Structure formats: C-alpha cells, structure tokens
C-alpha cells in the first residue's frame, strides 16, 4: 500500500509545481470549461481499472478532463499518426520505435511493466501446465489442436503473440485457431466461454480472474517464467511539429505526472484482491537512455 505520509509530501510537491504551471500556462484562460487531454491507450490499462486511479488525480491537479480512447496498440498509434490524440500509452516497443522513427512520437518514457501469461482450461488439454519455454508451450497447443483465441486486432498483445508463434516456428492456422478482434477483457471472457487458450497481460487477467474458469498454464517472468513474456509499457507525446493542433503542453504534463514519484506510487499501489497488477518502471537508479530512442540505434551505436 502507499505510505500516507510519503504520498502527502508528494502531493504537496506536485501542487507547488502545478501552481507554477498554472501561472505560466493556464492563468490567462480564466474559469472557462475544462480543457481536454486525449489519451489513446491499450485496453489492458483501461480494463484493469488502472486509469480510473491515475486520471482523476491528474484531472484534479491540472483542472483538465482526460478523454481515454481504449484500443489496441496498433490502433492507438494510428490515432497518433493522424493527430487524433495528444499522447499514447502502449506496450509494443518495436511498434513504438517505428512510430518515433517516423517522427510522430517524441519524448518517449518508460512507465511500468508486468508480464504476459498463457491461460486456458483447467483440465490442460495441451499438457502445457508449468512449461517454462513459451515456444514449446505453443508447439504443444498446435500439436494437440487445442483451441486458441487470438486478439487478432493488431494490439500489443496480438503483436507479441505473433512474434511468439514465429519463435515457435508455427504458423497458427486451422479450425483450432480463432480470433476475437476485441480487447483483452472481452477476449478473456470469450476464451472462457469457448474453453480456449489465450495470451493475456497479467493485469487484465487479475482484474477479471474471479469471473473466469480459466487458469494460468504458462507463467511469465514475474513468476519465474519465460523472459520473452515480459510486458513493458511506454508513453509518447504526439509531435506538435507534425500536428500543431495537439495539446503538447498538457501531454507533457501527463508524461511528467505518470513518471513522477506520485504517479509511480499510484501505479505500485494499485491492486486487485491484494495482488499488484503493474510495477513502476520510470524511476531508475542509473540513467536509462534506451527509453528515449529506438532500440536499434543503441544496438548499432548510431544516434542519427
């Protein structure tokens, strides 16, 4: 749980910063209607309930209204490309890097992480329970033609799933492989009704677990499982040089808030049934330059 004294100190600090912000930026706008900040984000951050904790705090601090568009990562980034949102909170680093290289996203920051897990029927028809190699587990699912429900929506979860099938050297086709075309919460509910396996982020799973008969069959790295199931989240502001109409000042205020000690404490304190759903990833003891630039630039030693 959040230490109350520490949270109070952080609130005072943020309020002071907010006051200075209001004098320089907001002060001339009078007492008109609330300004809107439009955030495109993954369904996992919405379905889990995390944004219901974070956004009211930000809205009260900055006298704004956060409009959330909860879609898959691919759709969220496309909204950013079109300039329909002010910032994006997503979880597919390769797609985020491409978005930055194209010039649409700037000031990327790491926010938090959890992991993916494979859930399925308790009777374990593919015999994958406890498997530590996610590729081997997928090979077993395909070999047994056990039902698997994909997001099929170009979301971050779907992108990760496809990359895992590729690592398993399996092309997932056949009557056993279905797609929901829906968000993570809806996909879990549908998989439960079908008795199918699916790949899910742990946060949404924990939020819905009590409503489902599915169980975790393959664990992610938070419980000693395959490191390839790690699930980091990043936030990017939309480039005002490409879309001058976006609210860049408020977007950067939100980036600052969610990566601040206050935002990170709220993330760490968010729990369902006593279990932590997301883990803070913004505050590092050592400089973390990898969060700002596409990863391939660091690998190549080229910052151009």
Cα(58)–Cα(65) distance, integer angstroms: 9
Would you state the pLDDT for residue 47? Answer: 87
**Each residue of 91-116: pLDDT tens digit?**
999 999 999 999 999 999 999 999 99
- For the domain spanning 4-114+231-300, the CATH number is 3.40.190.10
Place of tokens 């498997």: 131
Q: Which two tokens stand for residue 47?
A: 């379905």
Q: What is the pLDDT of residues 243-260, one digit of tens each?
A: 999 999 999 999 999 999
What value does the mean pLDDT of the chain take?
Answer: 88
Domain 115-229 has CATH 3.40.50.300: no
Note the pLDDT of residue 299: 53
pLDDT of the residue at 222: 95
Domain residue extents for the chain: 4-114+231-300, 115-229
pLDDT band for position 32 (50/70/90)?
Answer: low
Cα 34 from chain centroid (whole Å): 27
User: What pLDDT, on a 0 to 100 scale, did the predictor assign at position 177?
Assistant: 98
Other CB atoms within a 10 A radius of the CB of residue 154 amount to 20
pLDDT number for residue 165: 98
The pLDDT > 90 percentage for the chain reads 79
More confident residue, 7 or 191: 191
Report whether pLDDT(231) > 70: yes
Over residues 274-291, the pLDDT tens digits come to: 999 999 999 876 666 677
47 contacts: CB under 8 Å, gap ≥ 6 = 70, 183, 184, 185, 204, 207, 208
pLDDT for residue 21 is more than 50:
no
Q: Answer yes or no: is pLDDT of 301 > 60.
A: no
Residues in the chain: 304
pTM recorded for the entire structure: 0.82
pLDDT at site 291: 72
Question: pLDDT band for position 65 (50/70/90)?
Answer: very high
Q: Which of 21, 83, 3, 1 is nearest to 256 (CA)?
A: 21
Residue 11 CA: distances (Å) to CA of 18, 55, 60: 10, 15, 11
16-25, 165-174, 285-294: which has the minimum mean pLDDT? 16-25
Q: Do domains 4-114+231-300 and 115-229 have the same CATH topology?
A: yes
Res 159 pLDDT > 80:
yes
If pLDDT is split at 50, 70 and 90, which confidence band does 22 have?
A: very low
């Amino acid at each position: 749980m959040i230490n109350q004294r520490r949270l109070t100190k952080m609130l005072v600090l943020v309020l002071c910063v907010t006051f200075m912000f209001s004098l320089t930026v907001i002060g001339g706008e009078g007492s008109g209607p609330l300004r809107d900040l439009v955030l495109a984000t993954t369904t996992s951050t919405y379905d889990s309930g995390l944004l219901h904790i974070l956004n009211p705090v930000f809205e009260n601090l900055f006298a704004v209204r956060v409009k959330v568009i909860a879609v898959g990562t691919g759709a969220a980034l496309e909204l950013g490309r079109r300039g329909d949102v002010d910032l994006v909170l997503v979880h597919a680093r390769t797609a985020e890097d491409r978005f930055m290289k194209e010039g649409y996203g700037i000031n990327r920051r790491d926010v938090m992480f959890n992991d993916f897990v494979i859930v399925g029927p308790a009777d374990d028809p593919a015999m994958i329970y406890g498997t530590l190699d996610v590729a081997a587990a997928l090979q077993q699912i395909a070999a047994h033609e056990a039902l698997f429900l994909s997001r099929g929506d170009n979301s971050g979860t779907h992108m990760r799933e496809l990359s895992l099938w590729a690592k398993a050297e399996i092309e997932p086709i056949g009557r056993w492989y279905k797609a929901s075309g829906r968000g993570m919460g809806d996909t879990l509910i549908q998989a439960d009704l079908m008795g199918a396996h699916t790949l899910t982020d742990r946060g949404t799973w924990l939020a819905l677990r009590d409503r489902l008969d599915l169980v975790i069959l393959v664990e992610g790295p938070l419980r000693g499982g395959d490191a390839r199931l790690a699930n980091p989240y990043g936030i990017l502001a939309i480039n005002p040089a490409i879309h001058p109409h976006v609210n860049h000042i408020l977007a950067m205020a939100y980036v600052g808030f969610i990566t601040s000690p206050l935002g990170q404490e709220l993330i760490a304190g968010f729990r369902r049934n006593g279990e932590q759903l997301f883990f803070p990833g913004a505050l590092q003891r050592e400089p973390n330059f990898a969060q700002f630039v596409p990863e391939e630039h660091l690998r190549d030693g080229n910052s151009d």
